[in-house]
Every structure is written in structure tokens, then in C-alpha cells.
Amino acid sequence: MYPENMVSAGPYTLRRAVEADADAVARACDNPETARFLPVMPSPYTREDALNWINEISRATWEGGGADYAITDSDTGEFLGAAGLKPADRFGNSEVGYWVAPWARGRGVATAVTRALAELAFAQGVPRVALQADVENIASQRVACAAGFRREGVLRGASNRRDGSRADVAYFARLTSDPGDAIRPYLPFFPGDELTDGVVRLTPLTVADAGDYNATVSLPDIYMRRVPPEPPQYAESEERCRYARHRWLAGLAAEMAIRDAVTGEYAGDIQLANVVPPLDQAMIGYGLRPEFRGRGLVTRAVDLLADWAFTHTRLRRLIAGTAPDNPASQRVLERAGFVQEVLVKGLLPGPDGTRVDDIQWSRTR
């Protein structure tokens, strides 16, 4: 069904792997960063394992109606990685997969190859090509977007990791009727992956922040102001931090740590949530550990985040809410340029089945 050699992917060429590729395959696959997000595979990965992939696993893919290619530099012939299409399922759909050798990363190899393989599948009559990526594999999710694949959701526990654990998987797909244009994120990542004014620093939440995040949002004066007004379980906090960059790329929320810019200490959290693209609106929320209060860090964080949002995203309106008995948060918003709009009676759930009024604020572009 698929051609075995000389498939063009811009400056790269796809061809069937041969035994001469075995040393390069073994060197690439024995690298921890290459193997981290791949399904379970031998460790250490040897030349014999590479030959088994070339002569047995890859051959079975071809015989089943799929394709397994070596990625090479079109000018030099250098081996750069591997990519392929799974045999069609009972509905005629396929799935693209790839890995790129450490020495070839940062050159756009994966995006060019993924796009070329999707076009190849469509030319063969395949109506739909899927792409799966570990929720923590942000690089692969960015490849999917750049190659015109739309995010469709998350499959829980759908994949094995090399360490034997189960991984949630972000699921993307492209249809033959899709335009194939790169999908630009509604919420781009920070330039340099952080914002700072020299006093406060904002960085995306990661799983390494889970302990600090959970301890902070478990403080009564913080969780009682959130929805729902109850402390989270640690597993919930860990998942929130683990998913943070995935949710950011998906345009669902931008969640970050507030840090002391000098020491790097975790001071609290701040987020853009309840993102409504048709309105170009998002809600800002925050919480700070007691030992960092009284230094103006939250006001600086809100101001930094608002300026970034109005400069680097389509957002035109940021909203926030405070309880009437929370003057500290109200002062933060006033100092950060927010104006009070309206009091909504009984909007929020309170303790023991009560309802809490909400003062709503906004700052616009």
C-alpha cells in the first residue's frame, strides 16, 4: 500500500530501515530521553534489539498494511529517527508515530515527517490519522498542533511507560477534510518559559511543584475561597501539576507557580482559568503562602500575568471574583488595575451547604 522508499518530507527522506541502520537505531533508543515516552522497550537497548525491530517488528508492520520508515537527511543520508503509520483499523483509520534521535532534535524533523505521513495516508484513501502523546510529552503535542492535528481529549491510562507505569495520553487527529494548517495555541507559553520583574517570577506548574502546591491550597484561608471550598487530596494536586502544561497548550488554563525571583522559593500559585475564546475572556485566581504575604508579591504577579495576556494572547478581558469579607484580595486587584463591576448574590458554594456572595472585577485591554 505505502511506498517503501524515497518518501519526501521537505529536507528529509523516509525509506525502509535496513540492517546498516542498526547501530544508529541502538544509539538513539538507548538514550533515556528518546525512550522516556515510548511504549515499553528493552533497557539497555542493544544492536540486537535494533535488528529485531528492523527484521521482525517493522517487517510485520509492512506485511499488515502499515509502514515503518527510517528518517534520513536528504542531503547527507544521515539517520535521524524513525516514523510510521499503523495498519488501518476496521474503519479504515490509521495512526502516525515517530521518534527523533537526540542528535537531530530542534530541526523540525518530527513536524515535517508527521505532516508528510498524514498526506501520504490521505493519498492512499485513509480518512483519518490519529496521533497519541503522553500528557507530559509537550514536545510531541506541539508537533501534533504544528502538523495540523486537532486535540480531541485525553485517554486515561492508555499507554505503558518504560518504567512500567501507566500513562494518560493526549489524543489528536487529522481528517482528510481538514485544512492541515498549523494550529496556533490560544495561550502560548511564556517567552523563555517564565515571567519576572526581578522581584517575583512566574513559572508553569510541574509535577515537581505538587508538594508545595498541595500544602498551599490545603490552607483553610485559601481553600475556603475556592470552588469547591474544601482541601484537595494530594493525588488531585499532583495530577493538576502533571497536567498543567498540557492544559496550557490546549488553551484550557494557564497555571503557574509564584516564586521569589531571588531565591526561587515557591510562594504560591496563580492561574488563568475559565477561558472563553469566543469572548476572549479568562478568569484570574491566586493564593499565597502566609510567610510570603505583605510583600506585594501577588499584586506584582497579577500585573505581570495581565500584561503578558494582553500582549501575547487574544485575551481582551480578565475577570476575578472576591468574597465581600476578603479585603486583602480586593486591594490586590485594585492595585493591579482591576475595577469592581457587580455584586452577585449567593453565587458561590460555601461551607455546610451555604452560599457566598461574589464581588466581580475586571481589567480590559
Over its length of 365 residues, how does the chain's per-residue pLDDT go in tens digits?
888 888 999 999 999 999 999 999 999 998 877 767 776 678 888 999 999 999 999 999 999 999 999 999 999 999 999 999 999 999 999 999 999 999 999 999 999 999 999 999 999 999 999 999 999 999 999 999 999 999 999 999 888 776 777 889 999 999 999 999 999 999 999 999 999 999 999 999 999 999 999 999 999 999 998 888 999 999 999 999 999 999 999 999 999 999 999 999 999 999 999 999 999 999 999 999 999 999 999 999 999 999 999 999 999 999 999 999 999 999 999 999 999 999 999 999 988 889 999 999 999 99
SS3 127: coil
How big, in percent rounded to 5, are the helix, strand and coil portions of the chain? 35, 30, 35
Which cell numbers hold the place of 85? 503509520
Of 192, 176, 178, nearest in space to 145 by CA? 178
Contacts of 242 (CB under 8 A, 6+ apart): 135, 136, 206, 207, 210
The DSSP bridge partners found for residue 128 are 175
Question: Strand pairing of 79-85 and 200-204?
Answer: unpaired
Contact present, 87 and 65 (Cβ < 8 Å): yes
Contact present, 318 and 362 (Cβ < 8 Å): yes
Contact present, 250 and 151 (Cβ < 8 Å): yes
Of 316, 319, 340, 345, nearest in space to 330 by CA? 340
Q: What is the pTM of this model?
A: 0.92
Q: How far apart (Å, rounded) are the C-alpha atoms in residues 9 and 14?
A: 7
Of 263, 278, 274, nearest in space to 319 by CA? 274
Q: How far apart (Å, rounded) are the C-alpha atoms in residues 95 and 64?
A: 14
